[in-house]
Amino acid sequence: MSLIHAPPISPRHAHRVPTHPRPPTPISASQHPPTRIPHTPSHTFTTNLSSIPTPSISKTQSPNPIHPLPYRPFTTSHPHRARNTYNRFNSSSSSSPRQSLFHTLITRSKPHHFVLIGLGLSGVYFYNTEVVEMTGRRRFNCVSHAAELKMGAQSYREVLAQSQGRVLPDNHPLAQMVNRVLQRLIPQAPIEGADWRVHVIVDDGNANAFVLPGGKVFVYTGILPICQDEDGLAAVLGHEIAHVVARHPAERMSNSFLTLGTVFLISLLFDVSGNLSSMLVNLMWSLPNSRTQEAEADNIGLMMMAKACFNPEAAVRLWHRMQEQEKSAPPQFMSTHPSSYNREEAIRGWLEKAETIYQDNGCSTFGSYMPSFKKAYQTQSSYGW
């Protein structure tokens, strides 16, 4: 018999739930018959679910989303970038996916990978590098001469369509005068496959002229008062022909490929806005290269007009008049063309060489027999221009 007596159970502990619950007592079938739930569609249940209003959602439709706080993107040209920026705001990571890509390339790539990529890109660049024959400048050009001619033919059709009804006939004195100046410049312009044709467009408010690949020449009547004479017109046409001689249209197309690739890589690797990277590439590469082409065309055109016995000093006077015409020209670093003042000064530096060419070709007395420009220009008053 144990000498230790168990303490009496107090009334407040009488109904305590045991630590391990007892197994449920089986219930006989006579007490609660089982309820069978048949496998039927939802609309046959006792409770009619169709009476509860629920929104219908199709497969191609999503529930009304919870709109985030209003977000104003930096640019409207790339709306997807606004979403990425907003997600970065809520993200716990301090780097964006594009920054992660750059970080991955730097940390995981081997040094020889960058060497191989650099050698490959350099090989493509130098394989397509050529020298401008008349100036010795090296440039990148991956556009063939055939593609350049095709591009010029397409532009020719477009300009004719836009100028319909405003092109002077070939027998008009102004058209004849422009053609006469052109014929003296053509022998100095070695352009393969050129089919020369002059079109004078009546537009006194447009001081412009250009030559397309393939030899199609367009001169607007607004440039003629600035030219003043055939020597001035030769300076304009010589400059425009020089663009085609140096294949600047093909070079611009080639540079556009480099520009697009550079903008894409900068945007991808450094998470920079496409507009921002494009602006940087434009300021640092495209615009300076365009001004280089313009200066090169001034140089080549000046020598061409001197060989054709046009007075090269007329080019200096032309750009002086052009400078006076400029009212609100943008700064040179933001322009595709050098300023007229800088062009005038550059031509003065080349003038000695051009005058030597002019004298060596026996042109010192030839220019005094060319007064036809003034006679042709005087006739325009009878046509109302």
Residue 175, SS3 per DSSP: helix
Residue 292 near residue 337, CB atoms below 8 Å: no
Residue 252 near residue 242, CB atoms below 8 Å: no
Residues 6 or more apart in contact with residue 303 via CB below 8 angstroms:
134, 350, 353, 354, 357
Residue 350 near residue 302, CB atoms below 8 Å: yes
The catalytically annotated residue of 133, 158, 230, 240 is: 240
130 among known catalytic residues:
no
Residues 6 or more apart in contact with residue 237 via CB below 8 angstroms:
178, 181, 182, 185, 209, 211, 217, 219, 301
Q: Which residue has the tokens 């450094």?
A: 270
What's the rounded Cα separation, in Å, for the pair 341 and 325?
12
Q: Tally the C-alpha atoms within 13 A of residue 186's C-alpha that lie toward its C-beta.
A: 17
Model confidence, pTM: 0.66
Q: What are phi and psi of 82, to 5 degrees?
A: -65, -40
- What the block records as the tokens of 227 is 């030219």
Q: What is the pLDDT along the chain (385 residues), one digit of tens a residue?
A: 454 555 555 555 545 555 555 655 555 555 555 555 455 444 444 444 444 454 444 444 444 544 444 333 333 344 444 344 333 333 344 444 444 455 566 666 666 666 777 787 778 888 889 999 889 999 999 999 999 999 999 999 999 999 999 999 999 999 999 999 999 999 999 888 899 999 999 999 999 999 999 999 999 999 999 999 999 999 999 999 999 999 999 999 999 888 887 877 777 666 666 677 778 788 888 899 999 999 999 999 999 999 999 999 999 999 999 988 876 666 766 688 899 999 999 999 999 999 999 999 988 765 545 545 555 555 554 445 5
What's the rounded Cα separation, in Å, for the pair 91 and 89?
6
Residues 6 or more apart in contact with residue 130 via CB below 8 angstroms:
138, 139, 141
Residues forming beta bridges with residue 130, ordered by sequence position? 139
Q: At what angle do helices 287-307 and 340-360 cross, to 10 degrees?
A: 30
Longest dimension (CA), the chain: 153
Residue 286 near residue 301, CB atoms below 8 Å: no
What's the rounded Cα separation, in Å, for the pair 235 and 312?
8
How does strand 209-212 pair with strand 129-131?
Answer: unpaired
Domain ranges within the chain, ordered by starting residue: 97-127, 138-383
What's the rounded Cα separation, in Å, for the pair 112 and 125?
20
Residue 218 near residue 199, CB atoms below 8 Å: yes
Residues forming beta bridges with residue 261, ordered by sequence position? none
What's the rounded Cα separation, in Å, for the pair 340 and 185?
23
